[in-house]
Amino acid sequence: MFSFSQASAGRFAPSPTGPLHLGSLIAALGSYLLARQAGLRWLLRIDDLDRPRVVEGAAAEIMQLLETLGFEWDAEPIWQSCRDERYAEVLQHLREQGLVYPCSCSRKEILASAPHAGEEGPVYPGSCRNGPVGNRQQLAWRLRTHARPISFRDRFYAEQKQNLQSEIGDFVLFRADGFFAYQLATVVDDIDSGITQIVRGADLLGSTARQIYLYNCLGQPLPEYQHLPLLMGDDGEKISKRQGEVGVVHAGNGGEMMRLALQFLGQSPPAELLDAPASQQLLWALKHFDPGQIRPQNRLLSGLSDKR
């Protein structure tokens, strides 16, 4: 099912749903510096699985921008939208093991029957474990979970623990609308690309136990997890499209954005580099990066920009 032709890499996996934001630049930068410091290859993956949300041309723009900012990736990027056949193969494998089952529940039905809502949304109560209970045509496929807690140690967020059955429920690998779910795609891609170090925003801490469980189900060794603190907008929300132009990275403000991203990760380039192009700051960071300065605390955008 899985073969390793290459191993040991980190990665950055942007979703092309809009322009690159400072929050994503921080994830790109953190994963790049941590991979390079560990002597790993660094790969780029385009997470364009959620077709309805993908913005035409955004992926090309993000890649072009990363190149302008000085990032260098070590292989042709993987596009998730081209990988359906592979995901189907892995889902079939899990099906043969009896680990997945079809679910006919609508979101409304799940909301009505969920024992409680966890941090990640309503907990699926397992209604279809013994066969679909409704007669809906469109079926999702869910992975059977168990009640043993899954724990892992994150480099920056220390020990984490989650009981999938009571906090999440059996989770979706294939969606009723015909798309593979993020959890399946990301794990399959990370395994196939030999990713051993996963660096990403702390908003994905809550997905990690599900992904670890999938690695276990697939009999694969776990990567190392390093979640980065989040950059929040002034309203306390994660930086996103809602903030409009605030925090959008483009070639023109690349130097300033790189400085803010380095500062966010606790790095202090020398004064003469403060107005330097992004690529020069990145070269400095490759030599002087100190991961010990990364603090697992989310910060507001405004708390960053006035520090100069």
How many CB atoms neighbour CB 262 within 10 A? Answer: 24
Q: Which is nearer to Zn ion, 25 or 103 (CB)?
A: 103
49/181 Cα distance (integer angstroms): 8
Rounded least distance, CB 170 to Zn ion, Å: 8
Q: If binding is defined by CB under 5 A, does position 187 make contact with Zn ion? A: no
DSSP of 247-263: TB--GGGHHHHHHHHHH
Classify residue 162 by burial, with Cβ atoms within 10 Å: 0-12, 13-18, 19+. Answer: buried
Q: Which stretch binds Zn ion (CB under 5 A): 29-37, 114-122, 128-136, 181-189?
A: 128-136
CA nearest neighbour of 212 among 121, 148, 118: 148
Q: If binding is defined by CB under 5 A, does position 127 make contact with Zn ion? A: yes
85/70 Cα distance (integer angstroms): 33
CA geometry: angle 293, 299, 305, nearest 5 deg: 90
Among 105, 185, 249, 262, binds Zn ion (CB under 5 A): 105
100-103 sheet: strands from edge to edge:
100-103, 140-143, 171-174
In the numeric block, which tokens belong to residue 82?
Answer: 């081209």
Rounded least distance, CB 134 to Zn ion, Å: 7
Rounded least distance, CB 103 to Zn ion, Å: 3
Site size toward Zn ion (CB under 5 A) is 4
Among 9, 34, 103, 232, binds Zn ion (CB under 5 A): 103
What distances in angstroms separate CA 249 from CA 61, 64, 68, 124, one per listed residue?
Answer: 11, 12, 11, 38
Q: If binding is defined by CB under 5 A, does position 172 make contact with Zn ion? A: no
**Residues in 197-236 at the binding interface with Zn ion, rule: CB under 5 A:** none
Q: If binding is defined by CB under 5 A, does position 173 make contact with Zn ion? A: no
Which residues sit opposite 121 in a β-bridge?
118
Among 44, 94, 128, 228, binds Zn ion (CB under 5 A): 128
Q: Which is nearer to Zn ion, 128 or 217 (CB)?
A: 128
Rounded least distance, CB 137 to Zn ion, Å: 14
15/182 Cα distance (integer angstroms): 11
Q: Which stretch binds Zn ion (CB under 5 A): 123-131, 225-233, 248-256, 284-292?
A: 123-131
Q: If binding is defined by CB under 5 A, does position 35 make contact with Zn ion? A: no
Q: Which stretch binds Zn ion (CB under 5 A): 98-106, 163-171, 178-186, 279-287?
A: 98-106
Q: Which stretch binds Zn ion (CB under 5 A): 122-130, 183-191, 242-250, 269-277?
A: 122-130
Rounded least distance, CB 139 to Zn ion, Å: 9
State the residues that interact with Zn ion by CB under 5 A: 103, 105, 127-128
